[in-house]
Amino acid sequence: MSFMARQSSVSERSPVVFSVIIPTLNEEKYIGRCLAALAEQTLPSDRFDVIVVDNGSTDRTLEVISECSSIIRTTVLRKAKCNISEARDAAAGLAKGSFLVFLDADCLVPPNWLKVALNLLRRGDGGVIGAFYTIPETSTWVAKAWYGDMAKSRSGPVSYVPSGTLFIDRSVFHKLGGFDPAIQTSEDFEFCQRVAAAGYEVLSYPELSVLHLGTPQTIQAFYKKQRWHGSGVRTVFGRNMFGRGFVKTIIYTVCMSMGLLLTAFGLPVALITGNALAVALPLGFVLLISLSMALKGAIGRNNPSLVLPLTLLFTVYGVARSVSLLGLVGRRDRRVAMAQSHAAAAD
C-alpha cells in the first residue's frame, strides 16, 4: 500500500484518541507516580483514557490506583495468572481509543508525551512508533554503560521499540492479532517483526522516550533481565530461524555458548592434566567476542571509556543468553513467567 493510502486520520473532535494500557503486578512502588505523570499531560484529559490490567497484585497496587482516581480516570481490569502478552491483549480488547498506547507501570512520561505522539501518528502509516527508555540520573555505571544514550542514538526505522512505550493504530493492532500470548517475554520484538513484515513502519522517536525507573542498576539485575528476555528470543527463533531480526543475536549467543561450554569442559581437563590452555583458550575466545562487541559499541558512541564496562556487560549478557538458549532456566523463573513478572519483563 502507498503511504497516503494508509495514512492514519484522527479527527480533532474524536472523543478518545488514545487508550493507554498499563499492565501491573505488585507495582505499588511505581504506579502512583506513573498515573500522576499521565495526569499532567498537555493533551486534554477527555482525549485519552487509561486501562490498568492487574495480574493479581497482592500489595497496595489497587489501592494506589484507587487513590489516583481523583486526578485521572482509570479502568481496572483484573486478569490474574496470565503472561504480559495476554494482559496487554485483554486490555486492548476493551480499548476505545483510535490508538493504543502501551506503557509500563515503572515509567514516567513527559507532559507533552501524548500530544507529540498525536502529531507523529498523523504523519505515519498506522504502524508502530515509540522510543527507547531514558534512565534515571542517579543510575549506576551498569545502567549508564548499557542503556545510557540508547533513547537518543536509536532514532528512525528500527527493528522494534519496547512495549513500555509503544503506540499503534488500534485497527492495525487487531488486524495483526496483537501480542502473541504464547510468548512470555520479548513479545514487543516479535510483534514489531510482524508489523514490519506486514509492510508497516516501526519508528523510534527520541522525543517519545519515557523515564524507566526500573532500569537494571546492578550486575545481578542485568543478568536476570537478559536471561529472562533470552527465553523469549529462543521461543521466537524456534519458529522462524531465518528471520532477519534474530540473526545477530543468535549468532552471538551460539558463539558465546560454544565458548562457555568449552570452558566448562576444559576446567576439569586443566585440573587433571595441568594444562591451563584447556581452559584459557575457550575463555579467551569468550572474552574476545565480548571485547569485539564492546569496541564496536564504544566506537559507535564515540566513548572509549566504555570499552571495559561494556566488555564485562557483554560477557554477562552472553552468559545470560546462553543459559536461556540451552533451556537452563530454573523452576522459580518458570513460576515467575506464568505469573507475568513485570519487573523482569520490562525493557
> Are 52 and 77 a contacting pair, CB within 8 Å?
yes
Work out the angle between the directed axes of helices 219-239 and 244-273 (0-180°, nearest 10). 120
> Left (φ > 0), alpha (ψ -120 to 50) or beta: where does 178 sit?
left
Nearest to 189 by CA among 114, 128, 135, 134: 128
Amino acid 156: pLDDT: 92
**Which residues, including other chains, have CB under 8 Å from residue 328's CB and lie 6 or more apart?**
none
Domain 3-215 belongs in CATH node 3.90.550.10: yes
Q: What is the pLDDT of residue 24?
A: 95
For residue 327, with 0-12 CB atoms within 10 Å meaning exposed, 13-18 middle and 19 or more buried, which class applies? Answer: exposed
- Contact yes or no for 61/31 (Cβ under 8 A): yes
Tracing cell 536461556 back to the chain, one arrives at 324
22-39 burial, b at 16+ Cβ within 10 Å, e below that, comes to bbbbbbbbbbbbbbebbb
pLDDT digits (tens, 9 = 90+) for 155-202: 999 999 999 999 999 999 999 999 999 887 788 988 999 999 999 999
Supply φ then ψ for residue 116, to 5 degrees: -65, -45
Q: Is 95 exposed, middle or buried (0-12, 13-18, 19+ CB in 10 A)?
A: buried
How confident is the model over 272-294, as pLDDT tens digits?
998 899 889 989 999 999 999 99
Q: Looking only at Cα atoms, what is the longest distance across the chain?
A: 79
Give the domain ranges of the chain: 3-215, 236-345
Q: Name residues of the chain where pLDDT drops below 70.
A: 1-14, 232-247, 327-347
The predicted pLDDT at position 228 comes to: 84
Residues 55 and 80: beta-carbon distance below 8 Å: yes
Per-residue confidence (pLDDT) for residue 232, from 0 to 100: 61
Residues present in the chain in total: 347
Q: Which cell is 332 given?
A: 522459580
Contact present, 24 and 56 (Cβ < 8 Å): no
Which runs of E-coded beta strand occur in 25-61?
48-54
Give CA torsion, residues 24, 25, 29, 34, to 10 deg.
0
Asked if 163 contacts 156 with a C-beta cutoff of 8 angstroms, the reply is: no
